[in-house]
């Protein structure tokens, strides 16, 4: 469903395997300093992120499509609620599609998400995380019932050893271009204080700490969404976009738990879908390069 042919899979495998081989070589050959000085940062909890995707042809035709994504994420505190930790946050995402060589609208679309995360440590090995995310996805001119979603996830983390853990569960979101449930499973292995592997679906990543304030990583992850949109030519539409991105990047610790990240990737297996009540148009988009920059708080 998500990987359409063997050529794409081979391309991703080459990117990831070459980067992983480099990281393993560094891990085996590097002279260890004090292990506790090295850290692999967790996902960004607060900050600014921007992706820029280069122009790529649509259905091998003259029109070309570029894509810009910007996110600002802000937590609203941390609270103890019924023996659980509640972490509410708000995320504002801006998605801009630019069309070249064709007279067409260039929609700017927004996703506004209010996230409520409940974390419960059940025992020494099990942690349960529930996340409820009311959200709106629209150009803010065409707002209908299709613009609203109640997204979320339910996952259980099992600390199998001191250096490994399993995460299992499911989520409901618009990540693959439509509102749908998806399974979540990953295996995290801390090979050393300097090397961490996360293998699973939908995200796979390996990250290595070169210095206490500098890490490098490779990853494979989906990128997509679905929005309501008011077209000047076709009236009210729904726009769906889906893709995968294989990337490599570097993180630099600006100050304690504040990291700046630069990432270069290849956006693959891309498609865009425009539909209204009477018609539906789906088109494949050629692969393109992508550049990302972020700065924020990584707990």
pLDDT given for residue 6 in this prediction: 47
Mean per-residue pLDDT of the chain = 86
Model pLDDT for residues 158-196, shown as the tens digit of each residue: 999 999 999 999 999 999 999 999 999 999 999 998 999
Burial 58-94 (b: 16+ CB within 10 A, else e): beeeeebbbbebebebebeeeeeeeebebbbbebebe
Model pLDDT for residues 267-289, shown as the tens digit of each residue: 999 998 877 655 667 889 999 99
Q: Does the pLDDT value for residue 18 go beyond 60?
A: no
pLDDT band at 32 (very low <50, low <70, confident <90, very high): very low
Task: Outline where 1-90 has alpha helix (H).
Answer: 6-29
Q: Which domain holds residue 221?
A: 6-294
Cα distance between residue 59 and residue 174, in whole Å: 23
Q: From residue 221, how far is each of 16, 205, 267 by CA, in Å?
A: 12, 9, 10
Q: Does the pLDDT value for residue 103 go beyond 80?
A: no
Contact 110, 94 (CB under 8 A): yes
Report if residue 275 sits inside a domain: yes
Number of structural domains the chain divides into: 1
Cα distance between residue 232 and residue 211, in whole Å: 52
Report if residue 96 sits inside a domain: yes
Report if residue 1 sits inside a domain: no
13 Cβ partners below 8 Å, 6+ apart?
A: none
1 Cβ partners below 8 Å, 6+ apart?
A: none
Cα distance between residue 38 and residue 66, in whole Å: 38
Strand, coil or helix: 213: coil
Report if residue 299 sits inside a domain: no
pTM, two decimal places = 0.83
124 Cβ partners below 8 Å, 6+ apart?
A: 159
Cα distance between residue 106 and residue 239, in whole Å: 12
Strand, coil or helix: 280: strand
Q: What percent of the chain has pLDDT over 70?
A: 83
Residue 234 burial by Cβ neighbours in a 10 Å radius (0-12, 13-18, 19+): middle
Report if residue 68 sits inside a domain: yes
């Amino acid at each position: 469903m998500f990987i359409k042919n063997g050529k794409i899979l081979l391309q991703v495998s080459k990117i990831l395997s070459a980067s992983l081989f480099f990281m393993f070589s560094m891990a085996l050959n590097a002279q260890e300093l004090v292990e506790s000085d090295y850290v692999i940062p967790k996902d960004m909890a607060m900050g600014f992120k921007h992706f820029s995707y280069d122009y790529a042809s649509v259905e091998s035709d003259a029109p070309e499509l570029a894509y810009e994504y910007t996110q600002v994420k802000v937590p609203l505190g941390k609270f103890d609620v019924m023996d659980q930790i509640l972490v509410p946050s708000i995320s504002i995402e801006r998605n801009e599609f630019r069309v070249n060589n064709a007279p067409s609208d260039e929609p700017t679309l927004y996703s506004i998400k209010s996230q409520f995360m409940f974390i419960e440590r059940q025992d020494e090995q099990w942690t349960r995380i529930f996340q409820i995310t009311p959200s709106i996805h629209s150009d803010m001119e065409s707002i209908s019932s299709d613009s609203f979603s109640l997204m979320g996830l339910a996952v259980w983390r099992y600390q199998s050893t001191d250096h490994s853990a399993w995460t299992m569960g499911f989520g409901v979101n618009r990540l693959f271009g439509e509102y749908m449930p998806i399974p979540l499973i990953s295996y995290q292995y801390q090979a050393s204080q300097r090397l961490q592997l996360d293998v699973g679906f939908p995200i796979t990543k390996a990250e290595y700490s070169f210095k206490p304030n500098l890490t490098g990583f490779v990853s494979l992850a989906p990128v997509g969404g679905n929005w309501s949109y008011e077209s000047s030519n076709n009236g009210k539409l729904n726009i769906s976009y889906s893709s995968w991105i294989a990337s490599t990047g570097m993180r630099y610790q600006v100050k304690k738990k504040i990291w700046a990240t630069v990432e270069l990737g290849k956006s693959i297996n891309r498609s865009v879908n425009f539909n209204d009540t009477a018609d539906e148009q789906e088109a494949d988009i050629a692969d393109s390069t992508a550049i990302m920059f972020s700065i924020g708080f990584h707990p």
